[in-house]
Every structure is written in structure tokens, then in C-alpha cells.
Amino acid sequence: MCGIVGYVGGEDAAEFLIDGLRRLEYRGYDSAGVAIFGDADIAITRSVGRIQSLADRLGTPPPGTLGLGHTRWATHGPATEENAHPHIGGDGEVVLVHNGVIENYQALKDGLIEKGYQFTSATDSEVIAHLIAEGLAQTPPTDDQPHARYVTAVQWAIGQLRGTYGLAVVFRDKPGFLIAARFGSPLVIGVGRGEYFVASDASPIAGRTDRIVYLADHQLAVLTADGFSVLHRDSGKVRVNIQPLEAESGEVSLNGYEHYMLKEIYEQPDALRNAMRGRLNDQDATAVFGGLNLTPQQLRSVERIILTGCGTSWHSALVGEYMIEELARIPVCVEYASELRYRNPPIENNTLVFGITQSGETADTLAALNETKRKGHRTLAICNVVGSSIAQASDGGVYLHAGPEIGVASTKAFTSQCCVLAMLALYFGRTRHTSFETGERIIEDLRRLPAMIEQALTCDAEVRKVAEKYQSASNVLYLGRRYNFPTALEGALKLKEISYIHAEGYPAAEMKHGPIALVDADTPSVFIMPRGTTYDKVLSNMEEVKARGGPVIAIASSEDTEIRKIADDVITIPEAPEFLQPIITVVPLQLLSYHIAVLRGCDVDKPRNLAKSVTVE
């Protein structure tokens, strides 16, 4: 996992490299490095920690119009300077950055060590650098085709790799020349005037050029300041499809907030307004989606929907399952993307597969969509990042328009995804059972959502007090039913992610089958129980926890006065129709984990061991 950047052109490379790495920091932030090709030599600077540490160490960057950069999320070997990229191959004739995982690295490494190559890191990536050096050693120089030897060496090296790679490589003896290659890890080329950019996604390139090439698997790009070409790994040149760059460079300032996570929690009313803008049609009491690319016949013939994603996006898929099954009466199946890819379930014709993803870069989600697409199913994306790999790879989709989400723990993307799923439920429902009147009511409820979230946010001070009380807990249970079961999972995930407190989310009634054994005076249980179908049942579960001496916190409707007699702490939220409750009830849970993490002195926006987007399997 990691982010890579490369530059060749007429300007100094350093500014693009550092700025580009900052934009890719969501892919990993445990160490970073750059290589800048100056007049005589390649200067490599590496540093443990964030891009800022690298920038500080770099000071005034060396001049040079060719360069590579890398931000790392450790897979093989801990986050040390030796394991940070760029890596060197041979005696320094090859300098490389890599994103991906090489599964057969140990066997390749053993072979290279036997040949006398010396390794200085524990990474799988260094193997590729030495392999390319070996490829060069085996390929004699030719006078007539000066690039051919380098291309052949890279082709030979990547031909031996098993696993995934997006890589960029420069050569000590070949100034002004860069090769990029991709298999399984996304890579794009920005096409400028007299300059070319390489990056793991379009975000570093946005604002530098508006023309982009999305490399496909098995493709290599050869770049100089004068031009570029794309080759297939095994065959010759391929036709290049230069596309307009859609990605937004995005607003990334803190805007007075202490952390991005808090800012993004407070942005939710606007994020939802943006998700709904232009998508609610009063005349037909339905939702409209320009990018689904479904004909009315295809829409009518959908018999099943698969929702897939990872992490928080998987939780919104669970919410979507409840919404679509209840409102549209279409069977929905929710799959972890990482399982869907290898589980090979039977998928009937007329099944739609939605990949839900904030970043559009999550490797498992991308692979799951590619796998189902390969089997002939229509794949659609519910995605935030415009022009991302998953947006590119799908047959159509819906953008969230939530704006950049920088905090690693997802907040506004979750509520925006749920909102889009509610609109999809309306859209599918109106092609079948949902009446005009019900459609009108759903639209009215959706329109009230931003105001309901604004009201839910007023609980912030109350939540902060609850956070102070429970900040030292070692275990927390989150319990809810129906629409609020996924919220329980999401609340628990938020707490784990940013405060490092163990937490579990459960359907409230399932608590009796195991988790209740954890209940004691030091284990608080958070009950998500706004008024609705299962309220009384959840109330009984709460009594069961109280009877065993467990502290209980209730997330309850503002009209619920009785609950204060039972719960130790109550956080109130506005009344909402059941299908929209998860979008409201999650707000106090986001705030609770945020305040607990701050009180415990945790790095809220960049928690340990995590990355905003997981770009390896």
C-alpha cells in the first residue's frame, strides 16, 4: 500500500513531488522519501513519519527536473528509514518506488542474493529494484534504440513478479528518462506541455494538467520531457487514450477546526444537501441519477442487488440493505469486498453490483468489482472521489459530492453514502411497488435530513461530558436493532479506529448470546434506541445490562423522557423516520469517539497503523 509520484519535465521536480505526496498521504503515512535527479547524481532523501518530516529533512530541495516520491504504509518490514522508498537496485544504477505487494519476493530475493546482490531493507520492493538491475546486466546496450535496453530490463523484471505493483523507476545512467508500470495497483500519467507526471491517483495531478492517461494492467509508460509512449508488458506499443481529467483538487483547509474529523462531522448537513442536489424529482415523486447508465428496461429487470465495500463503506452497505429491501422490495446481499472477490458466489442474471467506497481506491473493492464485471454483471460505484480508479472501472455510478474527506475515520462519507442509498431505494421502489404518495413522503423526509443532522449536532457538549466520564474504559459495547444495528457497528469501529479502545457492535438481542458475559461495572454499553419498531425490545435488553451492573448510555429520541429513569447517560437526537435513523444516530457516536480520542491524546486524523484508503489486498 502506499502512494507514488514521479515527474519529468522542465521545472524542478521537488515541489510537485512533495505536494503530490501530501495529497496521497491518505494511502499511508508511516514513512516517505524522494529521489531527485540533479546534474550529476540522484539525491535520495528518506524519513520516518509524515510528509512534513520529509519536507523538513529535505530543507531546500536539490535542483533536478526528474524525480520520484513515495509515501509508505508498511507491509513488509517496519516503518524505518531503511525500509522507506525510494529503493536502490544494483550499485545504484536503478532507483525505484513501488506500491503493491510482491508475493514471491522471498524466492526472488534468495536468487538475487546468490548472484551477489546486497539488500539493505526488509521490503519486497527492493527486490524489484535489484531485479531491474539484473535485467540491465543481462541486456547489452544498443546504439540505435537508446531506450530499448531499459524497457527490456523492466519488462524482464516485472515478468517474474507475482503480486501487484504500481511502480516508477529512474536510471542513474539515463537522465531525463522515467519508466512507470502497473499491475493491480492503479497508476496514472498526467500529460502536460513539456512535462509529464506519474501518480497513484489523479489527485496530485489535478491543477497541473487537465489531460490524463489511466494505465491498464500489464502496461508500461516510457516518459521523457519530450513525450511519452505506452507499451504492453509482453507486446509492443499500445494506443494511448488521453482523457480529460475530472478530478477535483479540493478544499483541504481546517477552517478553524482543531481536526479534520471534527470539521467533517460538522460538514454533514451540507454534504447531504450536495448528495441530494438535483436528484429529487417532485413531479414523479422519485430520485434521478444521471450516471447509472441503466435503460428503463434494465432498471425494471433488476432482480437482485449486491452491495459491497470495506470498513465504514461496508456498514453503509448494511444500512442500504435494510433501505432497499424495505422500500423497493428487491433482495439485497451485502458482501465484504475482500470476501466477494474469492468466494465466487453464484450470481444470477439481472443482478446489479454496487461498490461503495469513499476513496474509490480500495484494492479489495476494486478487485471485487472487476471480478463480478468479468463474469458479465453490471458494476456500479457509489463513490466520493471523482475520477478515482473505481469510478473509472465501473459501468456507471453515483458520486457523493461530499467534498474531500481527510480524517482517516470516515464520517461525512458514511452519512452521504446512506443518503444516496436511501435515494436509490426510492428510485428502485418507484419502478415497482412504491406509490406516488409514499414517494412524496420519502422525498419530504429526505429534505428534512440536513436540518435533523444540524439538530443532532447540538448534542456536542453533552457528548463531551459523557466522553469525559468513560474515557478510561477498556471495552465498550454498541447495541442497536434493525436500521440501528449497522450504526452500532459503525459506532464501535469509530471508537476502535481513533481511540484504540476495544469496542464491539452487536444486534441488541444477540447480546444475550455472548457479549453479555463482558458486562461489568467498567464496561459501558451504548444503546442506539430511537423510537421505532423494536424500541421496547431494546429497552428490555438495556434492563438486562443494568441488572448486571453495566453502565448504559442511550442514544434516544428527544421526546423519550422515560429513558432517563433507566439509562445512566442519555444523548438525545431528533425524531426521524426509521429508514433515516442511522444517518442521525451515527452523529453522537462520531462525536463520542472523537472526544474520547482527544481526551486520550490520540492522533485523531491519522490514527496509528491505519490509512485512509487501503490499496493492497
Residues that bind ligand G6P (CB under 6 A): 309-313, 357-359, 362, 365, 408-410, 610, 612-614
Of the chain, the end-to-end C-alpha distance in Å amounts to 9
Cα dihedral: 362, 363, 366, 372 (round 10):
-130
| Smallest distance, ligand G6P to C-beta of residue 498, A | 10
Strand ranges of the sheet holding 304-309, from the earlier edge strand across to the other edge = 332-336, 304-309, 351-357, 378-383, 396-399
In degrees rounded to 5, what are phi and psi of residue 88? -110, 140
- Residue of 8, 10, 11, 31 lying closest to 21 (CA atoms): 31
Residue nearest to ligand G6P (CB): 311
| Smallest distance, ligand G6P to C-beta of residue 31, A | 18
DSSP state of 562: G
Listing DSSP states for 228-262 in one string gives EEEEESSS-B-----EE----------TT-SSHHH
| Smallest distance, ligand G6P to C-beta of residue 316, A | 9
CA distances from 128 to 41, 160, 207, 546 (A): 21, 9, 32, 58
Nearer of residues 384 and 585 to ligand G6P, judged by Cβ: 384
d(CA 399, CA 383): 5
Contact between 383 and 580 under an 8 Å Cβ cutoff? The reply is no
Residue 504: enclosing H or E segment and its boundaries? strand 502-507
Contact between 610 and 485 under an 8 Å Cβ cutoff? The reply is no
Of 263, 494, 496, 612, the active-site residue reads 612
Grid coordinates representing 591? Answer: 462525536
Grid coordinates representing 544? Answer: 438486562
| Smallest distance, ligand G6P to C-beta of residue 590, A | 12
| Smallest distance, ligand G6P to C-beta of residue 614, A | 5
Contact between 415 and 231 under an 8 Å Cβ cutoff? The reply is no
Of 2, 383, 419, 459, the active-site residue reads 2
Q: Is 333 tagged catalytic?
A: no
| Smallest distance, ligand G6P to C-beta of residue 72, A | 16
| Smallest distance, ligand G6P to C-beta of residue 317, A | 10
| Peptide bond just before 62 cis, omega within 30 deg | no
Contact between 150 and 76 under an 8 Å Cβ cutoff? The reply is no
User: Coil, strand, or helix at residue 226?
Assistant: coil
DSSP state of 215: P
| Smallest distance, ligand G6P to C-beta of residue 355, A | 8
Nearer of residues 45 and 313 to ligand G6P, judged by Cβ: 313
Strands 569-573 and 552-557: parallel
d(CA 580, CA 350): 28
| Strand ranges in 249-291 using DSSP code E only, listed in sequence order | 280-281, 286-287
Nearer of residues 200 and 557 to ligand G6P, judged by Cβ: 200
Nearer of residues 205 and 363 to ligand G6P, judged by Cβ: 363
Any idea how long the chain is? 617
Nearer of residues 13 and 188 to ligand G6P, judged by Cβ: 188
Nearer of residues 298 and 609 to ligand G6P, judged by Cβ: 609
Nearer of residues 45 and 312 to ligand G6P, judged by Cβ: 312
Nearer of residues 155 and 365 to ligand G6P, judged by Cβ: 365
Active-site residues: which are they? 2, 612
